Amino acid sequence: MIKGVMFDFSGTLFRIEPAARWLRTVVTKAGLDVPEDELDACVRRLEDFGAQPGGIPPRTVPPSLEALWRERDLTAERHRSAFTALTREAKLPAADLAEALYERSQAAGAWLPYPDTGETLRALRGRGIPVAVVSNIGWDMRRVFSVHGVDHLVDAYFLSFECGVKKPDPRIFQMACDELEVAPGEALMVGDEPAADAGATALGCQVHLVQPLPVDERPDALAEVLRLL
């Protein structure tokens, strides 16, 4: 019987805005006049390098950045350094946009909840089932939950950069189970990354995976969570 649920953040409960909107928002704010074809080409390069936090995974990581990329979620400094370095590799319209793009990726308005995020969290709260967010991340995204009005439905957050350990290490899942006061065998981990989120099985947790699709393409994938209880 499931008595506690852990959720991943990006690609599970929320999704970052499309890379094209991400870049255009920052370029417009900077007052730059960049031809559309150049913007489109830059978006493709940003996606190739996986330079948008929470966006498409990198198709290629420069050898000089591989070590930093592997450890990006362990500290805020490494996270910022990894992603700003990747944006610079994408040959931005202006070099100083790297920091602005990184800041935009942490804005609550850049993130959208999946259509069934709120109703799923409310249903769990109604059933008395505690919820934790367990995420490999290098910044504090609690404000995203607050701005979108669902922070009161989350009992605890376990963020890799705060915990000093990241998924799939069983220790971060154990931390969450301890806080929720449930045995691992009574916990469900819901995420979108098999390699990371399925690490919870090492403790005996159940795992349910969803697809990290754009928000408008995934209306009700979290509903399955309620059927697993």
Each residue of 191-227: pLDDT tens digit? 999 999 989 999 999 999 999 999 999 999 998 899 9
155 and 55 within one domain: no
204 and 122 within one domain: yes
Q: What's the total number of domains in the chain?
A: 2
Each residue of 100-148: pLDDT tens digit? 999 999 999 999 999 999 999 999 999 999 999 999 999 999 999 999 9
71 and 159 within one domain: no
162 and 68 within one domain: no
11 and 117 within one domain: yes
Q: Which of 109, 137, 167 is the last residue of a domain?
A: 109
147 and 64 within one domain: no
Each residue of 10-53: pLDDT tens digit? 999 999 999 999 999 999 999 999 999 999 999 999 999 999 99
What is the end-to-end Cα distance of the chain in Å, rounded?
Answer: 7
Q: Which of 83, 109, 135 is the last residue of a domain?
A: 109
181 and 96 within one domain: no
Q: How confident is the model at residue 95 (pLDDT cuts 50, 70, 90)?
A: confident
98 and 162 within one domain: no
**Domain range for residue 94?**
16-109
67 and 11 within one domain: no
Domain CATH code at residue 202: 3.40.50.1000
Q: Which of 47, 75, 109 is the last residue of a domain?
A: 109
